Structure 1
Amino acid sequence: MRRSKRGHCLLTIAAGLSAAGAQAWAVDASDLLVYSIGSVHVKPHLALAEQYDDNIFFRPSKPIPGFPFPPVEGDFLTVVSPGVNLRLGRTEANHITFDYTVDQSFYGNQTAQDHRDHSFLLNTYLAGSRVKLEGNDRVQFLSGILGGALSQGQRVDRKVFSDDYRLEYGLSDKTSVYVDGAFEATDYKRGTSLYDENTIRGTGGFAFGIAPKVRLFGEVHYGQSATSPNVLALADGPHADLYGGYVGASGDFNPRLRGSIKLGYEALKFSDGSKGSSSPVVEASLTQRFWERTVASLTYSRRNNISVQVGSSAYTADAITLQLAQGITPDGRLQGVATGSVEHDQYTGAFASRHDLLYRAGFALNYSIQLWLKASLLYDYEKFNSNHYFNTQPLSYDDNRVTIRLSIGY
């Protein structure tokens, strides 16, 4: 009951801020939400959310004979997300941007699932007459309940690292060469029945402009992935070599269509001779503006990955996401966003019969009360289906979430 009152209190605060935002404040919000310390711009931000989740542990929706899963449980969550953004330079020019956000989640009944997530982001953009450096770094300390193929039915402490830097040199007005280095790693808490994994990859390529805003490019890459177990029952897995190449195009293909698409081939081979995965690969990201207030986007990827559940196992993942954003009011302050995605994972080797399907769909109504104050109503649906554990009846779950959120900050 105490936790429920806390959620109502937060919603009351949110409603008060919303009402205040609709009026002229005596103090300009920019005086409170934007600071300058020398050449560094400081922007604090805060989000408050109240959510109902009808399957917080991602448990099977239907009973499975012989496997006594606990019943599905739902709960109310209150999420408080303060943070700060620091920027040196201008967003449209050379800059270094740092952002920190902490998400504190409180459960109404399942208070043992309360947890705190930390996210650190760093974005770098530096450009000269011929040389350009772009970089993105992300570090996360997460403690929430895992879903999808990695579901453990409980909170899992984990650390996630991601770094990607690209250095490009212009040979002429139309031609350039570039190198890209990327590192990704996930470190699960000791005792978790999942493998830690890390991947390092290097890419080299060239680009040639065929139109003022369109470039053709070609690239090759090589990398290594490795896993290590967190429980004695899991055997040490071999490392895997990844290599392949792409050709593609990127830019503004016409006044309303922009993005990139690349096609290629990639092989993943294990060092101990276990069967890996080799297949055509695709990465596409396209945005189409149909009308002034209507924008659609499509992302699709097909790539080879190493499994963090089973040693010496790989899979090919196909993932597609469609999103439609529609401005509802002429001033653009009220917007509706519909999103749908499907991911299919097909395994190879000893687990070639395994395939996983993950469906997601969602709808959001976003209202900009002020430039610095936004209210959102969201609905999200998730369905997972796998034949990994049960040959006669697939393991599956359904999850529905409804969220009310208030975001404060520029």
Structure 2
Amino acid sequence: MKHTARLAVIAALVSLSAKAAPFMAVGDGAELFVTAGLSVAFDDNVFLDSANESDDSIISFTPGVDLVFGKGSATTGNLYYREEIRRYSDNGNQDAELSSVGFNSSTDTGGSKFNLNGSYAQIAQNDNDIRIAGLIVRRDVSNLGAKAEFDLTAKTSLAIGLTYAGTDYSVASYTDNEISSLPVDVYYEATEKLDWSFGYRYRTTSQDGLAADFTDHFVNIGARGEFSPKLTGQVRVGYNTREFDAGGDDTGLGVDSSLSFAASEKTSIQLFLSNDFGNSGTGDSTKTFRWGGSVTSNLTEQWFAQASLSVDSTEYSTRDDDFVNGMLSVGYKYNQFVSFSASYAMRDNSSTSALAEFDNSVFTFGANVRY
């Protein structure tokens, strides 16, 4: 699955966390919340088409429910459902109703940890890789993941996971795909707060039609935990190999890292860096070097601010792209049930192919209710 899926949708409402009272208690340790979001976005290039830019205003109403369970127990999690009703002012043929459902749960027994998650989302948004002139491309994205970690000895532990990601496009111009991954990591306790790691990830990519299938191997070393009193996270560096089922291979440096820096009691900084193989919407094998981060600050008990920036340098078989995605947002928590937000997002794609270049700005204003 392209990393674009792990980034926020540009026009999405920035949510503020709030400890709202539940709409309904469901048995012991479970609570049901009713949620709703309303946003208005002003987009200066809805199709990301540099030759024929089309601006528009978009209204989205997103009701939903959220079931939170496991309060006070070793197993906790939540199950949610959302239905976005999206309407365009000038491009009414792009109106959409988009569903999303998902769950996640975690269990911690002390000597072992288990995590399980899954989601299904209907997405309607063009990006630097998926664009058709005069059309917003729709796709259905499914994700499943499971991870278990066990103590082997007093200082070593074993973590093993299994993930699946599938993308089903609504137009024949793009290639449906399924990606399965099996990561295995062995951790050794270097200090009470820092572990060394040795890992291997096996990954397969299956694509419809004439597009090539891939098998990837990532052998890595790294560390996780507390690097300093304010810096925590995980870093993996290693050797990446891609084997093409039709013959041939490609190799390169593999990097997968994410760090969190506590700048103050109210401000945190998230940083990430990666270098990995991928696949485009048309089935092309890609290499992407990605870096960026975000700053989050609780200015007061009611005001919240965030800034984020990511830069992707992607090598396709026919072109090279540099894609910049940035966002500034501010939020206000009116009370435990209602919050408001405003954001500005910008995207810019520079490419060796003039047809792939574009720039885009979006202003979004919204409100959230959670009860």
TM-score by shorter chain over 0.5 = yes
- 1:201-253: CA deviation from partner (whole Å, max 9, x where unpaired): 11222112222222211111222111113xxxxxx123211112121111122
Alpha carbons of structure 1 residues 204 and 326: separation in structure 2 relative to 1, 3 Å: closer
Alpha carbons of structure 1 residues 399 and 83: separation in structure 2 relative to 1, 3 Å: same
Following superposition, the deviation at residue 276 of structure 1 comes to: 4.2
Separation of aligned partners in 2, 1:300 and 1:164: 22
Partner of 1:326: 297
Q: Tell me the C-alpha RMSD between the 2 structures.
A: 2.0
Partner of 2:310: 341
Q: 1:145–1:152: 8 Å Cα contact kept in structure 2? A: no
Alpha carbons of structure 1 residues 361 and 238: separation in structure 2 relative to 1, 3 Å: closer
Partner of 2:12: none
Q: Secondary structure at the match of 1:112?
A: helix
Partner of 1:216: 196
Does residue 386 in structure 1 map to residue 365 in structure 2? no
Q: Greater CA radius of gyration, 1 or 2?
A: 1
Separation of aligned partners in 2, 1:182 and 1:122: 14
Partner of 1:22: none
Separation of aligned partners in 2, 1:91 and 1:357: 47
Following superposition, the deviation at residue 104 of structure 1 comes to: 1.2
Partner of 1:38: 27
Q: 1:156–1:192: 8 Å Cα contact kept in structure 2? A: no
Partner of 2:7: none
Q: Give the letter aligned to residue 321 of structure 2.
A: D
Separation of aligned partners in 2, 1:110 and 1:258: 46
Partner of 2:339: 374
State the TM-score, normalizing by the size of structure 1. 0.81
Does residue 101 in structure 1 map to residue 82 in structure 2? yes
Partner of 1:401: 362
Separation of aligned partners in 2, 1:261 and 1:110: 44
Q: Give the letter aligned to residue 90 of structure 1.
A: K
Higher relative contact order (CA 8 A, sep 6+): 2
Does residue 365 in structure 1 map to residue 330 in structure 2? yes
Separation of aligned partners in 2, 1:130 and 1:41: 28
Following superposition, the deviation at residue 92 of structure 1 comes to: 8.1
Alpha carbons of structure 1 residues 56 and 262: separation in structure 2 relative to 1, 3 Å: same
* Higher helix proportion: 1
Alpha carbons of structure 1 residues 90 and 277: separation in structure 2 relative to 1, 3 Å: farther
**How many residue pairs are counted as aligned between the two chains?**
351
Partner of 1:232: none
Partner of 2:44: 54
Q: Secondary structure at the match of 2:173?
A: coil
**Equivalent of 1:265, from 239, 242, 259?**
239
Partner of 2:5: none
- 1:18-53: CA deviation from partner (whole Å, max 9, x where unpaired): xxxxxxxxxxx73xx431111321111111111111
Q: 2:193–2:225: 8 Å Cα contact kept in structure 1? A: yes
- 1:372-398: CA deviation from partner (whole Å, max 9, x where unpaired): 2211110001111223xx4xx463111
Does residue 317 in structure 1 map to residue 307 in structure 2? no
Q: Secondary structure at the match of 2:227?
A: strand
Separation of aligned partners in 2, 1:276 and 1:374: 51
State the TM-score, normalizing by the size of structure 2. 0.89
Q: Secondary structure at the match of 2:54?
A: coil
Alpha carbons of structure 1 residues 276 and 101: separation in structure 2 relative to 1, 3 Å: farther
Alpha carbons of structure 1 residues 403 and 250: separation in structure 2 relative to 1, 3 Å: same
- 1:48-106: CA deviation from partner (whole Å, max 9, x where unpaired): 1111111111111xxxxxxxx4x311111111111111122028841131111121111
Identity %: 20
Structure 1 gap ranges (5+): 1-28, 61-68, 230-235
Separation of aligned partners in 2, 1:108 and 1:401: 15
Separation of aligned partners in 2, 1:293 and 1:222: 39
Q: Secondary structure at the match of 2:93?
A: helix
- 1:136-285 aligned at under 5 Å gives the runs 136-142=117-123, 144-153=124-133, 154-189=135-170, 191-229=171-209, 236-273=210-247, 275-285=248-258
Q: 2:126–2:136: 8 Å Cα contact kept in structure 1? A: yes
Q: 1:119–1:140: 8 Å Cα contact kept in structure 2? A: yes
Q: Give the letter aligned to residue 281 of structure 1.
A: G
Separation of aligned partners in 2, 1:249 and 1:384: 33
Alpha carbons of structure 1 residues 307 and 109: separation in structure 2 relative to 1, 3 Å: closer
Separation of aligned partners in 2, 1:216 and 1:358: 33
